Structure 1
Amino acid sequence: MTRKVILYIATSLDGYIADEHGAIDWLTAYGEQDIVAEDESYQALLNRIDTVLLGRTTYDQIINEFMVEHNDDYYYENMKNYVFTNRPAEARKNVVFINGSVVDCVRQLKVQDGQDIWLIGGTSIITPLIEKDLIDEYQITIIPMMLGNGTKLFEKLTKNRNKTLKLTNSRAVGDMMYLTYARQDS
């Protein structure tokens, strides 16, 4: 059985995953926290996966912002982590730094034994996987905020445009909308 690659990510209503300075603090500042806490999709995702894929910027935000702010350990230390980067990094348990192709890595991971794989972000690793049709499921939370500028969730695609996905689930939590789409095999 092939492992699934799941893009689980939040975006502003106007399609941005980070503001114009690359910050994602707008995500935790949004809305009534008790309504946000009702969301069980994150825990459901964690129960399905044993591997995470991150771009270096996303990894650094987790290490330098979220962990520091919450005085926490590395969130995914009990999973296999692949961080795609061309910069040196400090070693961490279960983290592999890769200066290579995310496409090649994912093709290898999909045929290995294990649970599903979470594609956390950012666009430098999301776009090539879309273009090679290697993302099986898109779980996208739309936060009803307009950022106006920043890092777009979906950058300009050069390949695999006009790809149709199938809506498999949708639900609202407060004012947020949770959408799940699956890849349709051709």
Structure 2
Amino acid sequence: MRKIRYAVAMSLDGYVAGPNGEADWIVMDPEINFSELWAQFDTLLMGRRTYETAIAGLGKTFLKGTKIIVVSRELRQSDHPEITIINELNRDCIQTLRSQNGKDIWLFGGGRLFRSMLEIQEVDTVEVSVVPVLLGGGVSFLPPPTQQTRLRLSGHKAYGSGLVSLTYDVQR
């Protein structure tokens, strides 16, 4: 069964995007092989706001061959035939997605969807790259209210740029 992995860059003070959704603070460390990272996934699962800001900026050709699934009550499938829209997030829907053939699923973007996925116990790993910057505000890594979730450290690496990558398995 495919894993759902929340892989995200986060400022030291706990934000995954700046106050206006900006990501220009994220360090592109030359030690990180981004092609290798992207090759681990064939599906991106995200909320509407991440889709509208991040994917528009990345461009469709960059994501060629990647299935994009957007959780949204506002978007209509008929208006966005190039993506799959989930109008109601629930375990059955996610279990169906997990059971399909393919690589791991990247839970991509903001903290609200991450929180919802934790609530329905559908996150396998939390992979955080802590960037050495203090934003002072923005999109929170995990906005309240949230339930306590136990994690087990399964990997870590410090980079010359000061970025630290931490990988945790979600304990069930």
Residue 165 (structure 2) pairs with residue 173 (structure 1):
no
Between the aligned partners of 2:108 and 2:116, the Cα distance in structure 1 is: 14
Corresponding residue number in structure 1 for 2:85: 97
Between the aligned partners of 1:111 and 1:79, the Cα distance in structure 2 is: 17
**Corresponding residue SS for 1:38:** coil
Q: How does 1:102-141 map to 2 (within 5 A)?
A: 103-141=91-129
- What's the CA shift for 1:75? 2.7
Corresponding residue number in structure 2 for 1:11: 10
TM-score, length basis structure 1:
0.80
- What's the CA shift for 1:166? 0.9
Corresponding residue number in structure 2 for 1:51: 43
Moved more, 83-92 or 5-14: 83-92
Relative to structure 1, the CA distance from residue 130 to residue 157 in structure 2 (aligned partners, 3 Å threshold; closer, same or farther) is farther
TM-score, length basis structure 2:
0.86
Between the aligned partners of 2:9 and 2:146, the Cα distance in structure 1 is: 23
Relative to structure 1, the CA distance from residue 170 to residue 158 in structure 2 (aligned partners, 3 Å threshold; closer, same or farther) is closer
Unaligned runs of 5+ in 1: 68-72
- What's the CA shift for 1:47? 2.5
- What's the CA shift for 1:92? 5.1
* Poorly superposed stretches of 4+, deviation over 6 Å: none
- The letter for the 2-side match of 1:137 is T
Relative to structure 1, the CA distance from residue 44 to residue 105 in structure 2 (aligned partners, 3 Å threshold; closer, same or farther) is farther
Relative to structure 1, the CA distance from residue 121 to residue 24 in structure 2 (aligned partners, 3 Å threshold; closer, same or farther) is same
Between the aligned partners of 1:123 and 1:102, the Cα distance in structure 2 is: 17
Deviations 1:30-71 (A, max 9, x none): 4xx5xx12202x43332222211011111122343343xxxx
**Corresponding residue SS for 2:25:** helix
Matched residues, percent identical? 31
Relative to structure 1, the CA distance from residue 63 to residue 5 in structure 2 (aligned partners, 3 Å threshold; closer, same or farther) is closer
Does the CA-based 8 Å contact 1:103-1:128 persist in structure 2? no
Q: CA RMSD in A?
A: 2.1
Query: Which structure carries more helix by proportion?
Result: 1
Between the aligned partners of 1:66 and 1:4, the Cα distance in structure 2 is: 24
- The letter for the 2-side match of 1:123 is G
